[in-house]
Amino acid sequence: MKKYLFFDDYSEGAHPQILEALIKTNLQQEAGYGDDIFSGEAKKLISDIIKDHSADIHFVSAGTQSNFIILAGMMKPFEAVISADSGHINVHEAGAVEATGHKVITIANAEGKINPRKIKEVMEFHKDEHMVKPKVVYISHATELGTIYTKNELESISECCKKNGLYLYLDGARLGSAVRSRESDLTLPDITRLVDAYYIGGTKNGAFLGEAVILVNDEIKPYFRYHLKQRGALLAKGRLPGVQFRELFRDGLFFRIAEHLNNMADRLACGIRDLGFGFLVKPCTNQVFPVLPDPLIRALDELYGFYVWEKVDKASSAIRLVTSWSTREEVIDGFLNDLKRLVNR
């Protein structure tokens, strides 16, 4: 029995305040399939926060679902999406995008991120009908390595996309943690202005499940509920994500949870750094990738749950530690104490 699991940010249920909201609304009869009053109010709250009242908002149950439905909805059969080779859609979605008929064109990532130069190279290479036609750029923010884009970076990608007739889509599974990172100069309204579509992840930010899909570009708004229904994403009790997102955005809970994730990750990273260890990439959101000696990792594994991410050199590897809404300071401090003890053993 491990002391604590740092595997991911979805090892527990929902934040107590969300549970409370579900209890309170439970008996109220409402229309199905997202036409309930709770979903309506949640959409209104999100519109206010992203400062775009003409954006279309839909709630779905999971991130892979958001990604492939939105991307498939943006493309004609012969069009393709550009992604970092480390992108979730390229590696960890079991070919969900390809299953809708579209190629994922990959770009070598730099700490999980891509840039306009690489996008332009892809555009220059794809020049006639013997090749797919690139139509969307996919980025994740925070990335799969916990890194984030700066405002400057996102603006240059956005501009490059506009120049090349490309949609820009942002996977926000961990968007809360990203926008509340102390390294971040990007706000939700900034992102809304710079991308064509994105989603705000609820599952990894305190909800039981739920992602808020935000369609900004008018071209991709029409008939989106048909896409949702056809791909199995229209929940009969659409109130379930609705109530949760209403609660997340009613009084700032979404951001408080995001800040908690980051604070706990920061506490963890500082403690590890103080012990003299480095990181695969500089930590700034709720995923921390310390590089540790392999024997230490094995010892740590007896006490805590986490993934060994990759070999770094002969004697050491990077591990991934993720904080969640339920991670308490005491847990972090306990982990650091154990780590210190094992180091000094």
* Residue 87 Cβ vs a second copy, minimum distance, rounded to whole Å: 13
**Residue 104 binds a second copy (CB under 8 A):** yes
- Residue 326 touching a second copy (CB under 8 A): yes
Asked if residue 95 binds a second copy (CB under 8 A), the reply is yes
Stretch near a second copy under the rule CB under 8 A, chosen from 50-58, 90-98, 142-150, 262-270: 90-98
Residue 198 CA from chain centroid, whole number: 10
Q: Is 108 in the site for a second copy (CB under 8 A)?
A: no
Considering all CA atoms of the chain, what is the largest pairwise distance in Å, rounded to the nearest integer?
63
Nearest to 49 by CA among 184, 257, 250: 250
Please say which residue, 24 or 341, places its beta carbon nearer to a second copy.
24
DSSP annotation of 138 reads E
Q: What are phi and psi of 312, to 5 degrees?
A: -105, -45
| Near a second copy by CB under 8 A: residue from 46, 57, 69, 342 | 69
Which segment (41-49, 140-148, 200-208, 282-290) binds a second copy by CB under 8 A? Answer: 200-208
Q: Which residues pair with 321 in a beta bridge?
A: 288
Told to check if 323 binds a second copy by CB under 8 A, we report no
335 forms part of the interface with a second copy (CB under 8 A): no
Instruction: Point out which span in 58-66, 164-172, 191-199, 246-254 binds a second copy (CB under 8 A).
Output: 58-66
The DSSP call for residue 165 is T
Fill in the DSSP letter of residue 236.
T
- What are the φ and ψ backbone dihedral angles of 60, each rounded to 5 degrees? -125, 175
Q: Is residue 213 a contact point for a second copy (CB under 8 A)? A: no
Nearer Cβ to a second copy, position 99 or 270? 99
- 223: phi then psi, degrees, rounded to nearest 5: 65, 20
Site residues for a second copy, 266-295, by CB under 8 A, read none
**Closest approach of a second copy to the CB of residue 221, in Å:** 13
What tokens appear for 311 in the block? 């070999």
Taking the C-alpha atoms of residue 312 and residue 286, their distance in angstroms, rounded to an integer, is 21
Q: Is 13 or 293 the residue whose CB approaches a second copy more closely?
A: 13
Binding mask 228-267 for a second copy (x = CB under 8 A): xxxxxxxxxx-xx--x------------------------
Q: Which is nearer to a second copy, 11 or 156 (CB)?
A: 11
Q: Which residues, 136 to 195, sit near a second copy by CB under 8 A?
A: none
Contacts of 313 (CB under 8 A, 6+ apart): none
Q: How many Å apart are CA 186 and CA 149, to the nearest integer?
A: 8
Instruction: Tell me if 41 contacts a second copy by CB under 8 A.
Output: no
- For a second copy, the binding residue among 48, 51, 101, 302 (CB under 8 A) is 101
- 102 near a second copy, judged by CB under 8 A: yes
Give the residue with the Cβ less far from a second copy, 18 or 154: 18
Torsion sign (Cα): 250, 252, 257, 261 = positive
- Cα angle 337, 147, 68 (rounded to 5 degrees) comes to 120
Of 184, 180, 158, residue with least CA distance to 170:
158
Name the 3-class secondary structure at 286: coil
**Residues 70, 214: Cα–Cα separation, whole Å:** 10
- Judged by beta carbon, residue 51 or residue 120, the one nearer a second copy is 120
Min dist CB 40 to a second copy, Å, is: 15
Q: Which of 59, 68, 167, 306 binds a second copy (CB under 8 A)?
A: 68
Q: Is residue 230 within a helix (H) or strand (E), and if so which, with residue range?
A: helix 224-230
Q: How many residues bind a second copy (CB under 8 A)?
A: 76
